[in-house]
Structure 1
Amino acid sequence: MGLQHFGDRCVGTRICGFLWSLRGHPTGRDRFPRRGVVPEHHGFVSLLQRLSTSPEEACLMDRSRILSNVWLAAGLVALNVVLFNLIMEPVNALRLDTTQGKIYSLSPVTKRIIRNLDEKVRIRAYISSMDLVYEQLRPLVPEILNLLDEYAVASDGKVIFERIIPEDDPAAEKAAQAKYGITATPYVFQDQRQKGVRSFYFSIVVEYAGTSPTTVSIDDLVEPDIFDPAEGQRLKLKNVEYAVTRAIKKSVEEFESRRDVFQRFPHKAVVRTYITPKEQLPEILKEVPEISDKVLSDLAKASNGKLEYIPVPVPEDPAEQRRKAAELNVSPIPFTRDRDIYLWATLEIDGKLYAVMPLMDLESGVGEFALRQAFEQVFRRLTPGMQRVIGLAQDMPKQDPMASAMGRPTPPPRFGEIGKRLGEDYEVRNIDLKTLNKVPADIDLLLVMGPRSLTPEAVFAIDQYVMRGGRAIFAVDRTDVELMNWGRLMGTAAKTGLEDLLGRWGVTLSEEGVFDEACGVFPWPDGETPPGRRPALSDHRWASLPLVGDVPGGVQRDHPLTSNFEVARFWYPSAIETTDVDGIETTWLLRSSPRAWTAPATSFEPDFARHPLGFPAPGDDERGRHVFAVALRGTFKSWFSDHDVPRKLDEDTASSDGKKEENGEADGDKKDAAKGNGDDAKTQEEKKVVSAPLTQSRPTRLLVIANDDFVDDFQAVTAQWGMPLSFYRMNARFFAAAVDWMLQDEDLQAIRNRGRSYRPLKPIEEPTKKTIIFWNFAAPLILLVLLGLGLMAARANRRPMI
């Protein structure tokens, strides 16, 4: 078919004229170059020259030749794309992360850990399909899977990652429940057509060398987000890298310790099981006898004779069953009105009953993984040196006899929640500060939490623990704040009993509380509440709740503990003042904004009707920064090197060596010694040597935080009320990082601090808001006018084509 003509010009001529103009040739009469002048052709223009040497020739060129050249060019482009992908396919580690802190990339610490593994690690992500996963968690799934894929890419083949959708593979779902203790999480859903309950899987299993599996649950991966109450509850990812890397380290340690636990196990253990026959058990429990027999038989076989496994048969006669159960110190489990069942194991250590353990858990169900893990943890706990030990020293509550008679339980300790969190990585032992007279020698880290008026014996015990090279964290302040009821708060000054000891090491706590304009929010009644009415609460900013990390200059970024610190909120903290002490290096870690001030405890009750931040603020000359946390490193001198040892300890020590005497005789000895009685003077000198303290420590480290409320259970409870009260998890994260640093697990500490930082947007002033709004409307109009003017100018300068 011929070319279609419009007027006196054909379409082909117009197209080729345009292509010719791209080559740099003039149009019209001057479109042919002068003789002897060779035009320059580069790149794409050179290709056009070959396709069309002139508009007239292009119009007469055979169409098949044009199409063949086009197809050739397209084929070459496609071939280049394919070859580029084939060449770059092995380079799967090429990634670009432009976020602050590189939160979507693995840290150098994690890369070093996984590349130095001796055996392969298999990571299995048991995550349901997107239509089953809870709606708010769906956007988080790709991020988790991408990060886990990073482990495989960065490990040089040491890590194998796979995602498993349990609902699509019944065998894998059963194995996940039985072998790894993974269960589905139910939730209520509602859409336009129906409402009901669904369940989904959201867990990760890390398995080293085909054994020692460690599970990362949904609670380790997800936490409530900081949100506006009007928008409802939202969820966000925790530090997934920290959770997975911690699981890898834990799996490796368990693999190594499993080989060594019975070699180092210093006891003789006997496990007796008392289990109802399989045919008499309900359907959901019929696997218990077989699973428990397999687990305990394997442990006994691996123990080299240190563990004996004895299954005790359950008699058929109910009365005989109860008699035998009483001998084993177990009780029947009521299942139905007319039938009892038994699912117990007793553990004896060196001939003494150590524990009675149920063989199924109502939360984790029946599974080989959970049962094996429970027994291995017991044996590991009884083996010296298998787990780091933390001493959680606090005032332990005592049972009120009257409350006990009424059946009321003993109240929980004040720092129970933080102890539970630390128990995931360490062995935590509660120590009562009221009765403390010696810190056990196997304590790796001592946490002194909220001490009040410590006895001299307790102070001496802490002093000597540090002198032995022990490490300690002191969470202390000198203010007591009691919430009487909503609308009534009482503050009093307090003494810790550690004033002299910390002062010896260059640390002094202020008797006043610190207030700051950079502060947190807490609910409080707007006015007086009539009797019998529930108070109407509103969120108010409290100057007595300083926020740290939200103000420039408030965090020591050069220190490994706080290099990636996010934010923390304190509750009526004290201020720390430091003095230089020979042999001790002191570094401040956290401090207030320059707009902070101090006030006595008697003025702790807020008045929001008169003061926007609840408390009267002084002038600028009385404001300044105040330190909340300091790290100390070096050799520490004992307070008791030039002060008397507590008399009770002196007498007890002397008594243990047979040198304690009656008061009257001791007084007589002193008189005789004054008269020159050499024998009695020698006895007194021996007593002095017996009770003499250690006077100087070897190099160690201490951490002092001028607040004890920021990680107590009250903060944990209020965090459940939602934002803006949910700073507890950030406080707990900082405290856990401090524990890691104190125990020198700097790998986990560095990863833990790589979580998403709390970086709120700064408030915008009203004039700035109006300026932004104006330019949002004006800028597009101005650009549109400029574009129109440019097009008009281009048309005016265009030369007509002839």
Structure 2
Amino acid sequence: MDKSKTSNRAKLALGGLGFAVAIFFAVNIFANAALKGQRLDLTEDRLFTLSEGTSQVISSIDEPITVRLYFSKALGEVNPRLQTYFNRIRDLLDQYANISEGKLRFELYNPEPFTEDEDRAVAFGLQGVPINNAGDRGYFGLVTTNSTDDQETIGYLNPRREAFLEYDLTRMIQGLVNPEPKTIGILSGIPINGIPMAQQPRWAIVDQIADFFDVRNIEATETTIPEEVDILLIAHPKQLNELLLYAIDQFVLKGGPALIFNDPNSEVEIAVARGAPDAGVSDLGPLLKAWGVALEAGKVVGDLDTARRVNVRRDGQIAVADYVVWLSLDKRNFNTNDPITSNLNRVNVASAGSLVAADGATTKLTPLITTKVRAARIDAEKVRMNPDVVALFREFKPEGKPLIIAARVQGLTKSAYPDGRPKPDKEKQLESVATHMASAKDPINVIVVSDADLLHDQFWVEQQDLFGQNYQVPFASNADLVLNALENLAGGSTLVGLRSRGETTRPFSMVLRIRQDAELKYRAKEQELVAKLKQVQQEMTQLVSQEENGGEATVTTADRQAIENRRREMISIRRQLRDVQHALREDIDNLDMLLKFLNIVAIPLLLGVATLVLILFRRVRHRVA
């Protein structure tokens, strides 16, 4: 009887196990079919969740779009990081196709050498990368086309732009959906378009703007704003004639959006002007005051919390110091409630100014970028020519309040020219304009930034050459700030939330912090021991050389003892040096051992204990029953 019961229990157990396996496979098959495209994204930056902006762009597709991803498998075998990046791009494009309701078709190609796929990749302009000594090339690029053969291409998908991946992909698709971009009128008092005579190229920021908008340059000598201009970008205005100032005034009052970079100390212009007395100060005439904004004259902003570390020469030596007027602003300084600044990571500025509401302002000044309380205003003359970085830091006295570096200006206001259009010069008699607007009918939309130097490549981007192709690799979000502002002013915020969304490769911040603390603690001792070891080795070499050249007769007992002492000292120093180098890694190794213990022993042990507790609980309950 007992044997029969035992046999039945064994059969039931085996049957239950088989049933559980069947259920497991059935659930997986059902999930793959029914939940295709569904996922749970637990990453900090929501890396695998499409943004609202992408969904809007995809839903606006009104004609079929084909996306072709070219990736050579051999390239992934040579570089596993590229394989990982390819997997992420493929998954992202699968999501694009899933939400497009058939309007976006995703195709994947493996362009092997001497195949038609490789020929098509080359025809599309993709950049081949050498993968072996035989000269074969691998490809990793993207091509999007629409029904009218418009084309957008990324010749090589550089993993260093992973933080901008969704932005780059969505921008390509939007370029096919909306082929007619807005026109940006750029009026600049600094060489933002380069200096052809000096063979200086235009700044990278203009290239970025030109990727999304049509660009129309406006000279300071013009007297009107061209009709095709939709948005004004004014960078460090200088010596503008009254008619052009009036034209800007009317453009804004009639609803034209404007992005203004007004600088109390443009370091770029000072460098170009080579010390001209009026260099560095922006001048927008009466316009800022009319819009309800004031840039504090003769002052630049310093901040201890965001000061950048720079190398300085002092007393003939190179030292590192905090340059309090070169600021590296981060998320703590940005208005997270405004789409322009909500997703920025870092913005670098140089001797920026302080913005305040003008007396009698009728507009609302909404800060976009501010310092924290350990900031102060500094006389611009102290940083205009050959600033003493160390003295600025030593003499710095925080004012205990935040200062505004960038702001949005909105509201109703009046014209800076209440009497109408200024009279032109006698030599330039123009027709009278009867369309003067004395005040705005709708709220104006202006963004003011108190620094123009942030537009320069030096403060936000590196130029890198990869296989003969130039890549711009940003290290700060300065361009994001400009493009976010322009897109927002243009009324299209679809791309605003896509930039700088993070990377799948995350730094080990705890390990980095441990390493930095250990270096501070032990690095000085290590350098001291290395220097001492070199000295002892030199003394040892001299004594040995003396013994070899002079022979046994000239070497005294004291010399031999000195040689022996040096050898012992070298051994002792090497031992100390090994101890110090071991101490540098001790905390990291301890953390590594702890993590291995948790992964290999602790988690399985915890599961085992939980299983035992469950078994005991069931047995006790069974006995009670």
The TM-score normalised by the length of structure 1 is 0.57
Note if contact 2:144-2:172 (Cα within 8 Å) is conserved in structure 1.
yes
Summarize the Cα distance change of 1:396–1:450 in structure 2 as closer, same or farther, 3 Å threshold: closer
Letter in 1 for 2:29: L
The separation in 2 between residues aligned to 1:422 and 1:138, in whole angstroms, is 31
The separation in 2 between residues aligned to 1:538 and 1:420, in whole angstroms, is 36
Residue number in structure 1 paired with 2:393: 615
Residue number in structure 2 paired with 1:267: none
Letter in 2 for 1:80: I
| Shift in Å, 1:196 | 8.4
1:569 is the counterpart of 2:348: yes
The TM-score normalised by the length of structure 2 is 0.71
| Shift in Å, 1:169 | 7.5
Equivalent in 79, 95, 99 of residue 22 of structure 2: 79
Residue number in structure 2 paired with 1:247: 172
Note if contact 1:242-1:752 (Cα within 8 Å) is conserved in structure 2.
yes
The separation in 2 between residues aligned to 1:545 and 1:124, in whole angstroms, is 44
**Matches of residues 313-324 of structure 1 in structure 2 within 5 Å?**
none
1:524 is the counterpart of 2:322: no
Equivalent in 166, 187, 194 of residue 111 of structure 2: 166
| Shift in Å, 1:477 | 0.8
Summarize the Cα distance change of 1:158–1:470 in structure 2 as closer, same or farther, 3 Å threshold: same
Instruction: State the SS of the aligned residue for 1:543.
Output: strand
1:426 is the counterpart of 2:244: no
The separation in 2 between residues aligned to 1:182 and 1:528, in whole angstroms, is 53
Summarize the Cα distance change of 1:518–1:390 in structure 2 as closer, same or farther, 3 Å threshold: same
| Shift in Å, 1:704 | 0.4
| Shift in Å, 1:428 | 0.8
The separation in 1 between residues aligned to 2:400 and 2:135, in whole angstroms, is 56
Instruction: State the SS of the aligned residue for 2:350.
Output: coil
Summarize the Cα distance change of 1:519–1:719 in structure 2 as closer, same or farther, 3 Å threshold: farther
Note if contact 1:505-1:581 (Cα within 8 Å) is conserved in structure 2.
no
Instruction: State the SS of the aligned residue for 1:628.
Output: strand
Q: Deviations over 1:535-575 (max 9, x none)?
A: x8776542111122243xx2111112222222101011111
The separation in 2 between residues aligned to 1:540 and 1:718, in whole angstroms, is 23
Note if contact 2:236-2:263 (Cα within 8 Å) is conserved in structure 1.
yes
Residue number in structure 1 paired with 2:253: 467
Note if contact 1:128-1:202 (Cα within 8 Å) is conserved in structure 2.
yes
Letter in 2 for 1:244: L
1:389 is the counterpart of 2:334: no
Letter in 1 for 2:177: V
Summarize the Cα distance change of 1:158–1:580 in structure 2 as closer, same or farther, 3 Å threshold: farther
| Shift in Å, 1:733 | 1.7
Letter in 1 for 2:70: Y
Deviates more, 1:452-461 or 1:739-748: 452-461
Equivalent in 495, 498, 507 of residue 293 of structure 2: 507
Summarize the Cα distance change of 1:491–1:94 in structure 2 as closer, same or farther, 3 Å threshold: farther
Q: Deviations over 1:599-633 (max 9, x none)?
A: 1122224545x45xx6334344x242111111122
Letter in 2 for 1:98: L
Note if contact 2:263-2:352 (Cα within 8 Å) is conserved in structure 1.
yes
Residue number in structure 2 paired with 1:707: 451
Residue number in structure 1 paired with 2:324: 543
Higher RCO (CA < 8 A, seq sep 6+):
2
The separation in 1 between residues aligned to 2:101 and 2:169, in whole angstroms, is 17
Residue number in structure 2 paired with 1:96: 40
Note if contact 1:216-1:244 (Cα within 8 Å) is conserved in structure 2.
no
Residue number in structure 1 paired with 2:496: 749
Summarize the Cα distance change of 1:82–1:775 in structure 2 as closer, same or farther, 3 Å threshold: closer
Letter in 2 for 1:739: L
**Matches of residues 630-645 of structure 1 in structure 2 within 5 Å?**
630-642=407-419, 645=421
Residue number in structure 2 paired with 1:697: 440
Letter in 2 for 1:142: N
Summarize the Cα distance change of 1:606–1:135 in structure 2 as closer, same or farther, 3 Å threshold: farther
Deviates more, 1:537-546 or 1:470-479: 537-546
| Shift in Å, 1:209 | 3.9
Note if contact 2:264-2:299 (Cα within 8 Å) is conserved in structure 1.
yes
The separation in 2 between residues aligned to 1:463 and 1:573, in whole angstroms, is 24
Letter in 1 for 2:172: A
Summarize the Cα distance change of 1:714–1:411 in structure 2 as closer, same or farther, 3 Å threshold: farther
Note if contact 2:236-2:452 (Cα within 8 Å) is conserved in structure 1.
yes
Note if contact 2:263-2:353 (Cα within 8 Å) is conserved in structure 1.
yes
The separation in 2 between residues aligned to 1:438 and 1:698, in whole angstroms, is 21
| Residues paired across the two proteins, number | 521
Deviates more, 1:559-568 or 1:67-76: 67-76
Residue number in structure 2 paired with 1:416: 203
The separation in 2 between residues aligned to 1:755 and 1:459, in whole angstroms, is 42
Q: Indicate the percent of aligned positions where both proteins have the same amino acid.
A: 23
Note if contact 2:268-2:453 (Cα within 8 Å) is conserved in structure 1.
no
Note if contact 1:711-1:728 (Cα within 8 Å) is conserved in structure 2.
no
Note if contact 2:70-2:140 (Cα within 8 Å) is conserved in structure 1.
yes
Instruction: Kindly indicate which of the two structures has a greater share of residues assigned to helix.
Output: 2
Equivalent in 149, 152, 158 of residue 222 of structure 1: 158
Letter in 1 for 2:185: G
Note if contact 1:483-1:490 (Cα within 8 Å) is conserved in structure 2.
no
| Shift in Å, 1:728 | 5.6
Residue number in structure 2 paired with 1:382: none
Summarize the Cα distance change of 1:582–1:483 in structure 2 as closer, same or farther, 3 Å threshold: closer
Task: Structure 2: give runs of 5+ residues left out of the alignment.
Answer: 466-471, 522-585, 617-625
Letter in 2 for 1:154: I
The separation in 2 between residues aligned to 1:473 and 1:410, in whole angstroms, is 28
Residue number in structure 2 paired with 1:341: none
| Shift in Å, 1:463 | 1.6
Instruction: State the SS of the aligned residue for 1:570.
Output: strand
